[in-house]
Amino acid sequence: MKRFIKYSEWEIIEENFIPENNEAAESIFSIGNGKMGHRANFEEFYSGKTLQGNYISGVYYPDKTRVGWWKNGYPDYFAKIINAPDWRGIKITVGKNKLDLFKCKISDFKRVLNMKHGYLYKHLLAELPDGKQVKVESFRFLSIVNDELGAIKYLITPFNFSSEIQVLIDIDADVSNKDSNYGEKFWTEVDKSFVPYPYIVAQTKKTFFNLCTAINYSFEQDGEEFKPTKFLSYEHEKYLGYKFFINAEQQKTITIYKFAAVTSSLNYSNDALIEHAFAHLENASEVGFDELFDEHKKVWSNKWTDADVEISGDIAAQQAIRFNIFNLLQTYTGKDERLNIGPKGFTGEKYGGVTYWDTEAYCLPFYLSTSPQNVAQNLVKYRYKHLQKAIENAQKLGFNNGAALFPMVTINGEECHNEWEITFEEIHRNGAIAYAIYNYVTYTGDKDYLSDFGLEVLIAISRFWKQRVNFSEQKQKYVMLGVTGPNEYENNVNNNWYTSTIAIWTLKYTIEVINFVKNKNIDDFKRISVASSFYENEIENWQKIIDNMYLPFDEKRNIFLQQDGFLDKEFLNAQSLLPQERPLHQNWSWDRILRSCFIKQADVVQGLFFFENNFDEQTIKRNFDFYESMTVHESSLSACTHSIVASKIKNYKKAYELYLRTARLDLDDYNNEVKEGLHVTSMAGTWMSVVYGFGGMRVKDGKISFNPFLPEKWNSYSFKILYRNCKLEIIVKKDEVSIINHSDAEIDLLIYDNEHDILPNDELTLVGLLSI
């Protein structure tokens, strides 16, 4: 754990610059707008350790797979959102000395991520080797209004001298990825020029995305714009910049405005990239930084009106939940159905910035409740758009008849993960995609989605499950062999309980949806049947599996077994591990991990969360207590799920303990890896820990339901949700629960399983709340 962030309700604050923390801070202070984002790299020179990161969603490179040996069915490449041309540079030189924040003596340092208004701020006083001191202040944002525009306001003041200073304003497309498999750079230059605005058009190798990065700038002093008359231009391959020479006076501030427009061939023809980039710059220059900034802040404020969670009495928890929500809001806006959510968002290279099952299992519930319906629909529709690719992925592994295996990792529908135990075995991801369809329809009531998109996906996934199991003569049951469950500290196991359980559930749900669509509109059913080559006798085979699936169970303990053979392990409590052994994957051999009982992340407990309605509370409690004691929570996706289930079984202290772990995972760097980027997709799990866990929110028989409790360290908390046609605010205090209906529609809901009606723009308060 590394804690250097100051507590604040609406801000992430770093005081006192410590170079050893810089890479972690670059992750934590990242900013984005759904279309592009970047790490909080300095505008100035920095020769210390840094991970440069500037990313454009959807622009990727298929980096050649690097494996020790090849297996049939392996993907040819690992797709990654690549480091894009960098426009942020404002590099200062005084005399012969560069303003290098690693080499200078830095004092009065403060870096702030303002979450309420979505911008990055810093100020500092730097002393150069010759004793000259420079005061710097900067504001940076990526416009949430125009998501192809970024802006910087940079103020520099000679503190104890007057002299000429040099200001280098540039675009650098000669960038690379630290995680490149073969050290390759991914961009080639297409075009560049200084007129009428400096710009570079670069193209990705292999995928041939074209990207235009154009900049404009201006200078101001004493409220008056001025144009430096002395300057030099620099250009070489994939780089151009202006170096301005400015006479700076002691204690007089020079303000530099820099605007950047980034347009890509994802959205425009190659011939139109420059034109659109210039149009953005012209508008930005005409409107000005301050007005653009005000518009940006206003939209961010509006976003919080639907998504905020307020906590009274625990500033660390308040800061943490807003940090998680902020990153979710800035990573995905739902404007483009081609885009999705990478595990690191715009904050780092790890996991390639591409799509995992995290989206369906963790992120979807957040967007369902905090954004317009089309945002969540675009997330589930993303998989429908990739259905044919999923069928092709399954064919590569020997499946047929329209069976689909959705990829573990993808950006375009093709599998691009190259670890065999994940690519071939972690097939539970298929179930999460089916569950997301159910989750979306249950929450929104949008049953048309089933006939329009969902049923085709469900049929293809069910065909996969049918072919993936086999009948065991010994057990006289269907079994599923050679899988990896969510707990990746186990590989190649037989009969993982969660995987088999979600497979059975998918088959049942598919049959249910088939009957629904057939009864609702026979023409839709016929259309889907033709498109999928579906014959109703397939249902008979699925039902046989449902009725005869083997699920491992321990009769002695009366618990579900994670997989066959789990009882052969030596059972140890995770608390017995020494601090220097954690995290295990950084300190133990893989052989030792695989033989141990320790669980990386929720596995059986994941199934208890998804399918809680199938089990009584005592069953959930027995299984939770058994597995929680061995779970090390070394996946970011783990603690949140355990927290929700702990809330369900009224283990409130454990629920809160796990909430703090998931909420401050990155801010306090629990796993010593935040320098690689934030755990963005698991941040949705933090939100679920509050709303689904502490707030007890569920949908029951078409009605929104709440069963809240108040953690003992909190005075109160509140959250807002959008549910169908209503906007609700739920306020939980020590002795009461209030629900405010901020909409013009009446709503019928459940509180502690009792039915209540709330009239439009009215409030209901119930007294007598359980607190801990």
Catalytic residue among 488, 490, 628, 676: 488
Quote the strand ranges of 249-324, DSSP E: 254-264, 309-312
Q: Please give the DSSP secondary-structure letter assigned to residue 492.
A: S
Write the CB contacts of 4 (distance below 8 Å, at least 6 apart in sequence): 14, 18, 21, 24, 25
In degrees, to the nearest 5, what angle opens at C-alpha 315 toward C-alphas 313 and 318?
Answer: 100
In whole angstroms, give the CA distance from residue 715 to residue 761. 26
Active site residue 488: yes
In 578-616, which residue ranges form alpha helices assigned H by DSSP? 584-587, 590-595, 604-610
Phi and psi torsions of 570, nearest 5°: -85, 115
- CA–CA distance, 436 with 10 (Å, rounded to integer): 32
H helix intervals, 617-699: 617-628, 639-648, 652-663, 680-688
Burial string for 161-173 (b: 16+ CB within 10 Å, else e) reads beeebbbbbbbbb
Q: Is 63 helix (H, G, I), strand (E, B) or coil?
A: strand
DSSP code for 610 = H
- Report the first-to-last Cα separation within the chain, whole angstroms: 27
Q: What is the CA radius of gyration of the chain?
A: 27
Closest CA to 380 of 307, 425, 446: 446
Q: C-alpha angle with apex 328: 203 to 119, nearest 5 degrees?
A: 75
Going 575 to 576 to 581 to 585, the CA torsion angle's sign is negative
Residue environment code for 634-665, b if the CB has 16+ CB neighbours within 10 A, otherwise e: bbbbbbbbbbbbbbbbebbebbbebbbbbbbb
The two tokens of residue 38 are 């970047």
Tell me the β-bridge partners of 150.
Answer: 142, 260
φ, ψ of residue 479 to 5 degrees: the values are -130, 160
| Residues classed as catalytic | 488
